[in-house]
A and B are shown apart, each in its own frame.
Chain A
């Protein structure tokens, strides 16, 4: 649905986006991951025609964004929740959007209800909104025209944990109904919970893409964090197998893949209460992949 082909954007001598190609499928949430300044926002701005590409192209549903009539009815966009007139009320901001798109005023109330902004909150001016409220309003604005494509830049930014969970469910069900979602984030662990498909970008270049399993299959998993009902017994059993074990918080850190730890526990009928990768998972992978193209001072293999 969204197709980015060999996109490059240069600002003078600086290349913000460097030969980037990817696509986003309907019915899926695509996560666009990268550290600050990796080129996520620039790519999204090119998608919606706010920035002119140096070379390459982006089409949404087969069309150049400029050629989509009343684009708000097809593509919901949230680039920056703070980029609204601070003196307007939340309700007024949505009303302007609805009027531009030719939607009935009732749509504004529907959207306010959807993002759980109360009537009183909707009458406050944007400058009095918290970042989380701005994000909710921004998501409401993106959904106003009942679009089939959503492009959201850092939508989880500023939301509280309940808000993040709410947004996750909202986007999931939106994609399940056939919608296309592209959302960017630098919160890697957050995106892996939402996204079906991930695109990792660093220094303006795509460093990896695929679903979580595909991405992690190449990465070596070396450490596991485990807690059991009898940690002493488990530690002894693991050490007998030749794995290095250290105490970590209330549990153990084992230099072995989770499957090996689980097998040892099963063999010794020890009940596990927690078992997970001790590496940062995607985060480690991400830092590893971007360290070559990114700044030099990213520490190698940051531990979870």
Chain B
């Protein structure tokens, strides 16, 4: 057939790779390396350890399902973004982007698939955390605490789901912006640890800055999501929106634009 082999590729019988399949592959890629697997396992393990310790040593009045859920959400929210950072930056740091973007040259589809994969992983880990909170509360009750299974819907939505979703998106933004695994992880810790501390210092020193801080610093703005009645006031929501625009929306847009254009070497 060599002499008569067609010069035109017949594409009629080839459907494009479905988004579901791309997202499934991305979930697999997040977990199939030693780093990805053990990191995810460690987060889940860490949440469990923290919950069990609290269940055993905290004062009985603290041992409520709500509090366990809040702790699980806090620990998770802190480390979840790193899974996303590794999933995105490995395309450049480990150079497998060459293959990823050759098998799906429309990069925007890969970006969406990674978003979906990140969301799926985050949702799965959150469910696991909720299950562990149930276990911790059961241990607490078994060891003498009063049974309190009441759940505050605001905590579940604001402190658990929304806060974790924001964390995952921040991880995504940092990852796409820096496209380097170590760089992005360092930047993430700088953003979550150093930045709030620095802002705290400045706030302590300057009375004016104290009032400005929640408007321009995203971590500070998010505090009302985890504290008190878990319901930010109107002003606090505005602060979340404003600082979120600076620290989440702008980096995310720039990062995704970079991912779509960068030359994977």
Q: Which chain A residues have a beta carbon within 8 Å of chain B's beta carbons? A: 1, 26-28, 45, 48-52, 60-63, 65-74, 77, 79-80, 82-88, 92, 96-97, 99-102, 125, 141, 148-149, 175-178, 180
B61 CB to nearest A CB, Å: 46
Contact of A68 among B3, B11, B21, B98 (CB under 8 A): B11
Which of A1, A52, A63, A84 is close to B94, meaning CB atoms less than 8 Å apart? A84
Given contacts A50-B263, A99-B25, contact A77 B16 (CB under 8 A): no
A225 CB, min distance to chain B CBs, angstroms: 35
Contact of A176 among B2, B11, B106 (CB under 8 A): B2
Residues of chain B whose beta carbon lies under 8 Å from any beta carbon of chain A = 1-3, 5-9, 11, 14-17, 21-22, 24-25, 28-29, 32-35, 90, 94-99, 101-106, 263-264
Return the contact of A86 from the options B7, B9, B25, B94 (Cβ within 8 A): B94
- For residue B3, which residue of chain A has the nearest CB? A27
B33 touches A101 (CB 8 A): no
Q: Are A69 and B95 in contact (CB under 8 A)?
A: no
Partner of A74, one of B14, B25, B96, B263: B14
Inter-chain contact A141/B9, CB cutoff 8 Å: no
- Whether B17 and A100, one on each chain, are in contact in the complex, defined by CB atoms closer than 8 angstroms, is yes
Give the distance in Å from the alpha carbon of A52 to the alpha carbon of B262 in the complex: 10
Residues of B within 8 A of A100 (CB): 17, 21-22, 25, 103-104
Q: Which residues on B sit within 8 Å (CB–CB) of A73?
A: 14
Out of A61, A84, A101, which one reaches B103, CB within 8 Å?
A101
Of A50, A67, A86, which one neighbours B101 at CB under 8 angstroms?
A50
A249 to B158, CA, bound (A): 84
Q: Is the CB of A69 within 8 A of B21?
A: no
For the complex formed, measure the closest distance between the CB of B26 and the CB atoms of chain A, giving whole angstroms. 10
Extra pairs beyond A26-B5, A26-B7, A80-B98 (18, CB < 8 Å): A48-B102, A49-B105, A50-B98, A52-B263, A61-B6, A62-B8, A69-B15, A73-B14, A83-B95, A83-B99, A85-B90, A96-B28, A96-B32, A99-B25, A99-B28, A102-B21, A148-B9, A177-B1
Contact A27 B21 (CB under 8 A): no
Residue of B nearest to A41 (CB): B265
Please, which residue of chain B has its CB at the minimum distance from the CB of A63?
Answer: B9
Given contacts A100-B103, A177-B1, contact A84 B9 (CB under 8 A): no
Are A27 and B263 closer than 8 Å at their CB atoms?
Answer: no
